[in-house]
Amino acid sequence: MQFRVATLNLEQDHKRWDARRDLINAEIGRLKPDLMAFNEVCVPLQSARGLRDAATALTGVEYNLVQQTRVNGLSKVEGEALLTRFGIVETGNFDYQAKDIVALVARVLVDGLALDIYVTHLYMSRGDDSLRLFQVQQLLAWIDTRDDVTASIVCGDFNATLEAPSAALMACRFRPTQREPTAFTPLAEEGGSVSHPDRARMDRCIDYIWVAGAIRIVAGGVCFNQPSLEDPSLWPSDHIGVWADLEFGN
């Protein structure tokens, strides 16, 4: 059975959320993902619930929603989320105990086979990868405690290119479905400066769908990668997303 996974960093509710939410909804409707991961869902706006309801309306598919807020002061601000059309067997969460960052996992049944899908968003830093490497080490150790599945998928913004030690460690155990640039789009406030004004546009891959186990990558690429037709400064987010079509098999 072939199924589709997608992931996107939402940039919380910043930079004209009400306008760019329509672009996000439209792309979800076009992609029709079976599993959709989100970073930086906005807790005060319950944005993940709104996206779940819109996805159901646009695709005709009933999605289940799993969420995990960040911890400490950020627990009221943002979190990670997953939409799944597959039945959920169990969920779990993990606190890295560093920078209030977390991961979630949902075990779902796809054609009767158990699949773990993780969503996380690693620490953002400029140059120093040591904390991300520590987080990846913890993430992989946690995944090792849940090895009774057919396959595992990890989605999210890793804030690191494949040359960085943290992403390179992931690549020792997991396969990325794509290597195309995902950061940063020319998203701007209305009449304002672009996101990350000190960074180049679309010059690096830092958002991933990683796969491991008895699973094949059928196709994949980037998504949420077009601005509004009416306003070229309005993009779905400051990152673009990643999609992959997968199937079980060696």
CATH of residue 129? 3.60.10.10
| Residue where the block lists tokens 């086979």 | 113
pLDDT (tens digit, 9 = 90+) per residue, 75-114? Answer: 999 999 999 999 999 999 999 999 999 999 999 999 999 9
Query: Which two structure tokens, joined as six digits, stand for 112?
Result: 């009767």
Q: Provide the number of structural domains found in the chain.
A: 1
Query: Which two structure tokens, joined as six digits, stand for 96?
Result: 């890295």
Domain span at 126:
2-248
Q: How many other CB atoms are there within 10 angstroms of residue 135's CB atom?
A: 24
pLDDT (tens digit, 9 = 90+) per residue, 190-223? Answer: 888 898 898 999 999 999 999 999 999 999 999 9
Task: Please name the residues in contact with 137: beta carbons below 8 A apart, sequence gap of 6 or more.
Answer: 169
Cis peptide before 3 (omega within 30 of 0): no
DSSP character at residue 178: -
